[in-house]
Structure 1
């Protein structure tokens, strides 16, 4: 099945909706016991990028956004399973 332009737009909108607030991003990372360096390595960005995303001074974009949201989803699921 081929992805249409509308499907791609819907996927991008959903990814944006799944991006938690900066404070929640940091809380998820800390709850998992990860450093900013470890999170950055998992996403494929710099430590400074993760720090700025968690401070709310910048927002992830493109492929970095997709990878970051996937990582945060995994952390959220891990946290929910351990409760």
Structure 2
């Protein structure tokens, strides 16, 4: 079994090899294309929403979300503080 640190090192090495040798993304051209023609293309930059979605304190899907700005470290424990269900949003209790 590989450790988290070992996995991170392996991923970093593979990315470095990819960028330097195989098919470097940083040498590919940036082009505009219609959304319907964008299959098998790679975004040139991240898409970031200018506001939180949804704007209300509700959820319509099952799952968990962690903010991109969160500074999570290896072995970080995330505490579940509540539950939201259809028709009864989480109210902080």
- Normalising by structure 2, report the TM-score: 0.26
Higher relative contact order (CA 8 A, sep 6+): 1
- Normalising by structure 1, report the TM-score: 0.28
Q: Which has the higher helix share?
A: 1
